Structure 1
Amino acid sequence: MGFVLGVLPWVLYWVLIGNVMFRLVVCLVLAVAVGTQVVSRLRRQPWRIFDLGSIVVFAILTLTAFVFTDAILERWLQPLGNLGLFLVALVGLLVGRPFVWEYATEFVDATTARSDRLHAVTTTMTWLWVAVFAAMTVVTMIPPLVDEAATIRDAAGLLSVLCYWVLPCVLLGLAASASGLVPPWFEIRSVPVEQRETEETPAAATQSSAPSDIASDTLVLDVPQDSRHDEPFAVVLHGAPAGSAVELTATGNDLHGRLWRSAAMFAAPASGPVDIALLDPLSGDWERADGDAPLWAMRFAADGVTPDLFVPPTDPWLVTVTARVERVGEVRRTVRRHPPAEGVRSSTVEIDGRPGLLALPPGTAPADGWPAVACFGGSEGGFESQVGPAMLLASRGFAALAASWVDEGAPIVAVPLERFGTTVRFLADHSEVDSDRVAGMAVSRGAEGLLSAVCAHEGPRCRGLVLISPSSVTWQAIGSEGEIPDAPSWTVAGRDVPWLPVRSGALMSQLVRNAWWASRDAAAHRPTLIRLRPAYEAGLRGPATGAADARIPAEQADGPLLLVTGTEDAVWPSGPMAQEVLGRRLRPSDEHLSCRGAGHLVRLGVLPTDAQWTGGIALGGTRTAQAVAQRSATTRITRFLSAVTANSGDDRRRAVGTRRR
């Protein structure tokens, strides 16, 4: 109703101008414009800049009609009206209230009305209308400038008819058609994108049986039969004749039963075995000598399925390595890669009603207890994503707790930061843990929450923090449909934590592209991806909404930090945000591992790095860079944690805890 009342005066103006006396027209449309506002006030509708601007324009046109003669009005009144309409629409844009948005909010729910995405869409559509109004102004100014005899009442003159009537109407019709057709088209074409995210979410599957090993009288394939995900993977082939072509392949299934495969060709050296840690391949899925390459270079190889991020099986990962030598034969072995070392003890726990998994190192705990690490995941929720890191850390002598700070798939909205403190204290109170040697490790939104919790008053006490893809600020609440308007991600002591907005409007060009290509992507089994980083970068650039200062007071964390980031992070600008944290702290004990070419997800161990995306969200990073980042992060993180949880007197005094005293 508000839209109808808003445009009604202009419709009357365009219909009557040139057909009725000018003074009567402008007085009538001014009265209608004022009357529509009276009706809007009675209906308790909000004030709109477009409506108020229209009244101002019609008031000016009325004054003009009584000041100038009809000879001037019949040439210039139409261009002046279009100019006024152009300025009204432009001013609304410049003050952040595009008129399409003002009217669109009437047709959507309150949550959608406050979303940045709607504001971005309607802003784009308003710019379209501003361009049309500008074109109408220019077109209607042509007759009085070119032909002194041309008037709006000249029904016989081609120039007058074309510029005063035909072209403005055509422009209005095209703009109206675009405004009416694009939103339904976008909504319809976006459905396949949303369906893919739901329908293509795989379930866990039992690993299929590995093929039988193949032995050879002349070839010997040397591969570690049992090794952990964080241990080197060496492949050496003995018995290949000098100069012979050797094809090496490795295959394995992920948690969801989907096949992954790597392959490379080598030339057997003149002397010695084919050692892939020493020989560059001639061709294949990796380019340089690398013993781990058969694992990290695996590509998604399941037929008829859209690739997605590799998730290792919970049971030992069965990897089949095959070597084929021309004119000699082939040899094949299946080996096992384990998350934990033998003897690691794990048990499920419940922390304040939330599930988790505690992993303890093999053997008897030292007299003063194990050093410990509380592990928190990202926005995926739950604790399952941290089971692998917890097992790895337990294999290296840490008691590790994979903890949940938000339910899997739940929105991140008003999450109490106290959950992090409760988890850390639960771990510190365990009978086999040294309560003075507890550190924390978290990823992405979990890193944002953990750092915020540690820096809060009476936050958890930790000896150090490992923050993977961290944030320097606290962000707006998010859910499955994007940002949640006017809501914080975190609370502390029942109060909202200030936040910066996630400007999802910055993603519109990607969303339109995805809507256009979704069907083609699905047919070709290509992922339809979105890079979230522009939304967070726009939030960092713009003014804070609902926040006086959303910066995390990282300088209040007294203990050392290790920040791990990738330069090609596609989720948010973790690298620049990590630099901001370090720049405010200026602590020599802090470390920053910036992984060149890596993306948002830097995992521990040696895992396939193909398909760096999940659930339609691009994570960023190249395959080779991710492999380097995984190995570097594994080394640096375990070394850092060992240092900050060291038991010597000097180290104990240096690592005094990351709670502000």
Structure 2
Amino acid sequence: MGFIIGFAPWIVYWILVGNTGFVAAIAIAFGIAAVGQVLQRLRGQPWRTLEVGTVAVFALLLIAALTLDDAVLERWLQPLSNFGLFAIAAVGALIGRPFVREYAAATVDARTAASGGFRYITTAMTWMWVAAFGLMTVFSLIPPIVDGDATMRDAGDTLSVVCYWVLPFTLMGVAGLVSAVFPGWFEKRSQLLETHTSAEPAVTAQPAPAADLSAGSLELDVPASSRHDEAFSLIVRGARPGSSVTVRTTGTDLFGGQWRAEATFTVPADGIVDVAGQVPDHGDWDVADADAPLWAMRFVSEGRVPDLFVPPPDAWLVTVEASTPDGTSRRTVTRHVSAPGVSVRSLDVGDRPALLALPGGDAPSGGWPGVACFGGSEGGVDSQRSTVGMLAANGYAALAYSWVDESNTDATLVNVPLERFTSAVEALGAQPSVDANRVTAMAISRGAEGLLASACVGDLPVAGLILISPSSVSWQAIGPDGEIADTPSWTWKGRPVPWAPLQGGTLMPQLIRNAWRAHQDVTAHRPSLLRLGAAYRAGLAAAPADATLRSEQATASVLCLTGADDQLWPSDEMATAVLGRRSDARDEHRTFDGAGHLLRLGMFPADAQWTGGIAFGGGGAGQGRAQREAVHSVLGFLARITAVARA
């Protein structure tokens, strides 16, 4: 309805200008526009650029109609009026008041109207109208330029009819159709994609493994039981030299998804194929790597959309096969989260859920060194279950703490008190078997942002900080539908922590592309991925100075781990900025080529580095190498930091 009101004077003008006198047509249109403005002011309605501009343009056209001959107006009035529309739309867009947004804002709530996506779409649509009005002007200039005698009232002249009327109003109709259809189309496709990406299959128990097989002298040398953080090993013995042997690994994730990797080798003269030292002839990996049979696994379940590998909470069964022309040998081995004797129990920390993992056996006289672990924006403690189990297996008491308000369905990262991080660290240090002077904190992604922010503004009682894919600034609040205008993610002592606005509008080209391909993706069981890096890079470039995290104020030593192919946000750049403000010689920054945002402390399949439609980046050998080296980096840093008690 708003568009109709805005264009009402123009519609009346176009109807009258071809059927009555020029002065009368323009005067009536001007009167309608002027009266409309008076009525809107009396009703307290806001100014709109299209309506105000229309009054100004018709005032100028009325002056022209009163001073110029009809012979001139017949040729040039249509180009002038079209140019007036072009000028109104272009000026509005250039001064930050695109007319499409002014009308559309009245149909949505304030949060939507302030979002980057809404601003992007309404700006783009306004520029579409600018282009349409510009082409209308160009087309209506053709008759008087090409044929000096052509007029807008030459009903028998094809050039006049086509260029003064048919082409301009066809363009306007197309622009109007797009404006009317696009919002509904985009919303419908977006809902389809949301259903497509948010559907989570049910948790499934590990299936019973196939029986082990042995073929003659062919022998599989693989550890029957090992942890996720321990190196894998796969050696085939007894194969005929010169023959081919195909090695295959299969496993099932938490949700019943099937994963598989295979590669073919030529058997050397000694009859032994060791994947740690031999490059396969072909297959799912092309490097000599003992862990390749795990990280090279691909998602192979038919009829399902590939998604991030999520390990079972306890034991993960991996079936290993070696096939030669002479037969097949098969064994099923187990990968564990932690070591025997490790205990894991639930805790309540300030009315928030937590998990405490303790090493097996008696604590040393001073207590176990501790690590407080914080996940990302996914919330909960389950994402850190493997991490705390790994740390406990290596002699550290580890606490996983949920800092996200999961019960709040309207928003996730909104006004989160930074005191929560301090509370979790203090709760870990207060455990009877923990040495409070040897506590370190570790977090990933938005959790790393909050952890560093808390260390910068308060006295966080830790000896070291491990920041995985961190941020160098505090970002604005994020909800289920994107950024929340004028709202911080964090508070400290009840006051908002200054934040950098997220440029969500930069994601609209990806969202529109995904909407366009929605049906194809759903049919092909293909993920529709959103790479948030563009929005965060734009936000980082425009971040206000007070949003920068003052990392130099954190007293603990810092280890940053980042992936060079992080597609969620520029963690490598931000980690460099974090450490660039500091002068602690013990600080470290490890960046891994070919790895993405999610750096897990254990060896897992590196395919499908995305979840919920959000791309993490990385994959393959680079991701596998990062998983292995991240474990070594974290354990090495912890050993150095906790070797000396915190002052």
2:43 is the alignment partner of 1:36: no
**Aligned match of 2:328:** 330
> SS state of the match for residue 517, structure 2?
helix
Describe the SS at the equivalent of 2:453.
helix
Contact preservation (8 Å) 1:2, 1:40:
no
Residue of structure 1 equivalent to 2:343: 345
* Code of the aligned partner of 2:426: R
Given residue 563 of structure 1, which amino acid in structure 2 is its aligned partner? C
SS at match of 1:585: coil
What are the Cα deviations for residues 435-468 of structure 1, in whole angstroms up to 9, with x where unaligned?
Answer: 1111111111111111111111x34222111111
| Partner in structure 2 of residue 283 of structure 1 | 282
Measure how far apart 1:258 and its partner are.
1.8
Distance 1:351 1:107, change over 3 A: same
Deviations 1:520-574 (A, max 9, x none): 22222211211111121222234x5xx6732112221122211111111111111
Tell me the distance in 1 between the aligned counterparts of 2:424 and 2:303: 42
**Corresponding residue of 2:600:** 603
Q: Does the C-alpha gap of structure 1 residues 606 and 548 become closer, same or farther in structure 2, counting only changes over 3 Å?
A: closer
Counterpart amino acid of 2:255? H
Matched, 1:633 2:633: no
Q: Check if 1:421 corresponds to 2:422.
A: yes
Report the equivalent of 1:83.
Answer: 83
| Alignment partner, residue 659 of structure 1 | none
SS of the aligned residue for 1:318 comes to: strand
Q: 2:553 aligns with which of 556, 559, 569?
A: 556
**Amino acid of the structure 1 residue aligned with 2:309:** F
Matches within 5 A, 1:118-267: 118-199=118-199, 201-267=200-266
Instruction: Report the CA distance between 1:247 and its aligned residue.
Output: 1.5
Percentage of identical aligned residues: 53
Structure 1 residues 102-111 or 54-63, which shifts more? 54-63
Which residue identity lines up with residue 381 of structure 1 in the other structure?
G
Cα shift at 1:54: 1.9
The secondary structure found in structure 2 opposite 1:549 is helix
CA contact (8 A) 1:567 1:595 kept: yes
Assess, with a 3 A threshold, how the Cα gap between structure 1 residues 102 and 459 changes in structure 2: closer, same or farther. Answer: farther
Question: CA, structure 1 residues 56+467, in 2 after alignment: closer, same or farther (shift >3 Å)?
Answer: same
Residue number among 380, 396, 399 corresponding to 2:397 in the alignment: 399
Name the SS of the counterpart of 2:141 in structure 1: helix
**Corresponding residue number in structure 1 for 2:469:** 469
* In structure 1, distance between residues paired with 2:565 and 2:574: 13
Cα pair 2:608 2:619 within 8 Å, conserved: no
Is the contact between residue 250 and residue 320 of structure 2 (CA under 8 Å) also seen in structure 1? yes
- 1:2, 1:324 → 2: CA distance? 71
Q: 2:501 aligned with 1:535, yes or no?
A: no
Measured after TM superposition, the shift of residue 127 of structure 1 is: 1.3
Q: Verify the 8 A CA contact 2:249 2:262 in the aligned structure 1.
A: yes
Is the contact made by 2:529 and 2:615 (CA closer than 8 Å) also made in structure 1? yes
Query: Quick one: distance in 2 between partners of 1:585 and 1:46?
Result: 50
> Residue type of the partner of 1:184?
G
Query: Pick from 585, 590, 597: which aligns with 1:588?
Result: 585
AA of the residue aligned to 1:336? T
User: How far apart, in 1, do the equivalents of 2:342 and 2:34 lie?
Assistant: 78
How far did 1:229 drift? 0.6
In 2, distance between residues paired with 1:548 and 1:598?
30
Q: For the Cα contact (< 8 Å) 1:247–1:266, is it kept in 2?
A: yes
Tell me, in whole angstroms, the C-alpha distance in 1 between the residues paired with 2:419 and 2:13.
Answer: 62
Q: Is the 8 A contact 1:6 1:36 kept in 2?
A: no
Deviations 1:590-635 (A, max 9, x none): 2111111111101111111111111111111131110011111111
1:2, 1:45 within 8 Å by CA — same for their partners in 2? Answer: no
Query: Counterpart amino acid of 1:98?
Result: P
Match of 2:7 in 1: 7
Q: Which runs of 4+ in 1 moved over 6 A?
A: none
Conservation of the 8 A alpha-carbon contact between 1:498 and 1:548: no
Are 1:411 and 2:412 an aligned pair?
A: yes
Residue type matched to 1:356 in 2? A
What SS does the aligned partner of 1:358 have? strand
1:453 pairs with 2:454: yes
1:383 aligns with 2:384: no
User: Structure 1 residue 412: deviation in Å?
Assistant: 1.3
Instruction: Tell me the CA shift for residue 157 of structure 1.
Output: 2.8
d(CA) in 2 for partners of 1:530, 1:92: 31
Offset at residue 340 of structure 1 (A)? 0.8
CA contact (8 A) 1:474 1:497 kept: yes
Encode CA deviations 1:292-329: one digit per residue, 9 max, x unaligned.
111111111222221111111112111111112222x2
Given that 1:139 and 1:167 are in contact with CA atoms closer than 8 Å, whether structure 2 keeps it comes out as yes
SS at match of 1:597: coil
Q: Is the 8 A contact 2:251 2:317 kept in 1?
A: yes
Rounded Cα–Cα distance in structure 2 between residues aligned with 1:67 and 1:575: 66
Supply the distance in 2 between the matched residues of 1:239 and 1:149 (Cα, whole angstroms): 96
TM-score w.r.t. the length of structure 2 is 0.96
Instruction: Identify the range of structure 1 (404-413 vs 29-38) with the bigger mean alpha-carbon deviation.
Output: 404-413
How far the C-alpha of 1:586 sits from its partner, in A, is 4.5
Q: Which amino acid aligns with 2:264?
A: M
The equivalent of 1:577 in structure 2 is 574
The Cα shift of 1:217 comes to 4.3
> Contact (CA 8 Å) 2:10, 2:29: kept in 1 or not?
yes
Q: Is the Cα–Cα contact under 8 Å of residues 339 and 393 in structure 2 kept in the other structure?
A: yes
Measure, in 1, the Cα distance between the counterparts of 2:381 and 2:154: 77
| CA contact 2:239–2:271 (8 Å) conserved in 1 | no
Q: How far did 1:268 drift?
A: 1.6
- Note if contact 1:418-1:459 (Cα within 8 Å) is conserved in structure 2: no
Measure, in 2, the Cα distance between the counterparts of 1:441 and 1:72: 77
- Contact between 2:197 and 2:528, CA under 8 Å: does it hold in 1? no
Gaps of 5+ in 2: none
| CA deviations over 1:97-145 (Å, ceiling 9, x no partner) | 2111111111222222221111111111111111010011111122222
Could you say what secondary structure the match of 1:572 adopts?
A: coil
SS of 1:234's equivalent in the other structure is coil
- Name the stretch that deviates more: 434-443 or 1-10: 1-10
Shift, 1:216, TM fit: 4.2
- 8 Å contact from structure 2 (residues 313, 385) kept in 1: no
The 3-state SS of whatever aligns with 1:520 is helix
CA gap of 1:269–1:550, structure 2 versus 1, over 3 A, is: same
Partners of 1:644 and 1:283 lie apart in 2 by: 43
C-alpha distance in 2, partners of 1:40/1:584?
54
**Cα pair distance change 1:378/1:34, threshold 3 Å:** same
- Contact 2:254/2:310 (8 A) holds in 1: yes
Greater Cα offset, 224-233 or 62-71:
62-71
2:357 corresponding residue in structure 1: 359
Shift of 1:5: 2.4
Match of 1:519 in 2: 519
Distance 2:582 2:9 in 1: 60
In structure 1, list runs of 5 or more residues that go unmatched.
657-661
Contact map agreement 2:197 2:527 (CA 8 A) in 1: no
Matched, 1:16 2:16: yes
How has the CA–CA distance of structure 1 residues 273 and 126 changed in structure 2, closer, same or farther, with 3 Å as cutoff? Answer: same
Counterpart for residue 431 of structure 1:
432
Identify the range of structure 1 (129-138 vs 491-500) with the bigger mean alpha-carbon deviation: 491-500
SS class of match (2:581): helix
Tell me, in whole angstroms, the C-alpha distance in 1 between the residues paired with 2:293 and 2:539. Answer: 41
Per the alignment, residue 94 of structure 2 pairs with: 94
Between the aligned partners of 1:494 and 1:273, the Cα distance in structure 2 is 65
Q: Secondary structure at the match of 1:36?
A: helix
Instruction: State the alpha-carbon separation in 2 of the partners of residues 587 and 33 from structure 1.
Output: 68
